[in-house]
Amino acid sequence: MFTAAEEFFELFERENDAVGALAARRRWVRAEIEATGTYVHTTAELVFGARVAWRNSARCIGRLYWKSLRVRDFRAIRGSAAVADRCVDHLRFATNGGRVRPTISVFAADSIDRRGPRIWNEQLIRYAGYRTEDGGVLGDPRYLEFTEAVRALGWRPPEQPGAFDVLPLVIDTEEEGTRWFELPSAVVHEVELTHPDLPWFAELGLRWHTVPAISNMSLVIGGVEYAAAPFNGWYMGTEIGARNLADQDRYAMLPEVARRMGLDTSHEQTLWKDRALVELNRAVLHSYAQADATITDHHTESERFLTHLAREEKAGRSCPADWSWIVPPVSGGLTPVFHRYYDTEQLWPNFVLGDEAASRGTQGAPARPPRRPETADDGVFSMFGLPLAAN
Ligand code: ARG
């Protein structure tokens, strides 16, 4: 904790001329850690730390705008209903009628005698998945088990279950255990998918949500772990068109799109998958644009990322990037980000996905009674060495 805090304050000093030398603040923090096992960031430290955590996110291609991240300080909030309420408000603010604002909401961190809240969901908005009678899946197969888990907590799907039923938020606190909260439909901005020149496309009944808000990763600043800190940017079209709706273990729409396009799907060499994939991605970009909902394409975003790299280099900083995540899942070689390598070291502050949070995010977990941690080492101070789960 001491070293991580020291390193953070060095960075904070180096990058914020206005704050000057922080000798007194550092002494205070040392004493605070000695007395309480942790310390409390000032608002300025939190805002800077959250923005730099985004800047250091090696898998994110959209980091050019890291300085514009809106940081909402909810560290005083611990009750599950209040957490859910602020998440709803996060969506309202971040959605902004479709013109998405990159935003993070930071809730209470763990302290020596009290665990902060946890959000089970991988994202604030996700679609339920149901096993159908014929052994197939209705909805998002990624959330089959999560959907089962929230049903076990008492959530009921709509009377007529559909392919895009929004899951409830599941909040876990030490005092109240695990509780779920329905998201008001007014804050779930969605886009119905149509195609610029294939009229039948609308009949597929596809849609997606406008705001991707990751809610099970921890924000780690100077050794302090904020386990509940949902954050969002805006979508790059391929995330929806080339993954969520295309992956075989997600909505797997390519065979149906190809069939409607009248393509020869009898063998691979017709490239029917590739052709269907392009039209699906055109539909996503077209529909979001029509709906005035923020979206970006992979060509534009690749260029922006190179601009970001150049800026970081000019500022004398290394910019870690994970090639396998940065290169878009379609037309990789058409984008400039394909044709080079990147620094790969892990920098702090950053976002981390712990093993437990990762499994809660897709499988949920059994409801358990509220408990108090007995000792400081039963997980409360797990801020170091959290493994990044492979996704
Ligand atoms: N790929 C994830 C999804 O499809 C979202 C990850 C974050 N994406 C973003 N553009 N900020 O939901």
Residue nearest to atom 7 of ligand 1 (CA): 212
Chain mean position to CA 110: 21
| Whether the predicted pLDDT of 377 surpasses 60 | no
Question: What is the reported pTM?
Answer: 0.93
- pLDDT for res 386: 39
Ligand 1 atom with the smallest distance to the CA of 236 is: 10
Residue nearest to atom 10 of ligand 1 (CA): 235
Chain mean position to CA 282: 24
- pLDDT for res 372: 57
CA 233 to centroid of ligand 1, rounded, Å? 8
The closest alpha carbon to 347, from 312, 380, 381, belongs to 312
* Mutation test residue for ligand 1: of 235, 295, 305, the one with most atoms within 8 Å of CB: 235
Residue nearest to atom 12 of ligand 1 (CA): 212
Continuous H helices in 143-265 = 144-152, 237-238, 254-261
| Whether the predicted pLDDT of 376 surpasses 50 | no
Q: How far apart are the first and last CA of the chain?
A: 28
Known catalytic residue: 32? no
Q: Given 54, 208, 234, 272, which residue is catalytic? A: 234
Ligand 1 atom with the smallest distance to the CA of 232 is: 11
Give the list of residues 6+ apart from residue 170 with CB closer than 8 angstroms, or none: 119, 120, 121, 150, 153, 178, 179, 180, 181, 364
pLDDT 10s digits, 24-83: 999 999 999 999 999 999 999 999 999 999 999 999 999 999 999 999 999 999 999 999
Q: Report the pocket of ligand 1 as residue ranges, CB < 6 Å.
A: 62, 123, 212, 214, 233-236, 239, 244
Altogether, the residues listed in the chain come to a count of 391
Known catalytic residue: 60? yes
pLDDT 10s digits, 178-189: 999 999 999 999
Segment holding 190, helix H or strand E: strand 190-192
Rounded Cα gap, residues 261 and 241, in angstroms: 16
For residue 370, whether the previous peptide bond is cis, meaning omega lies within 30 degrees of 0, is no
Phi, psi of 232 (to 5 degrees): -140, 155
| Whether the predicted pLDDT of 388 surpasses 80 | no
pLDDT 10s digits, 276-297: 999 999 999 999 999 999 999 9
pLDDT 10s digits, 133-170: 999 999 999 999 999 999 999 999 999 999 999 999 99
Ligand 1 atom with the smallest distance to the CA of 235 is: 10
CA 55 to centroid of ligand 1, rounded, Å? 16
User: 319 a known binding residue?
Assistant: no
CB atoms within 10 A of CB 182: 13
CA 298 to centroid of ligand 1, rounded, Å? 13
- pLDDT for res 370: 56
Task: Give the β-pairing of 207-209 and 190-192.
Answer: antiparallel
- pLDDT for res 381: 36
Under the banding of pLDDT at 50, 70 and 90, the label for residue 208 is very high
| Whether the predicted pLDDT of 172 surpasses 60 | yes
Mapped onto helix, strand or coil, the DSSP state of residue 269 is helix
Q: How many Cα atoms sit within 13 Å of 32 on the Cβ side? A: 14
Under the banding of pLDDT at 50, 70 and 90, the label for residue 365 is confident
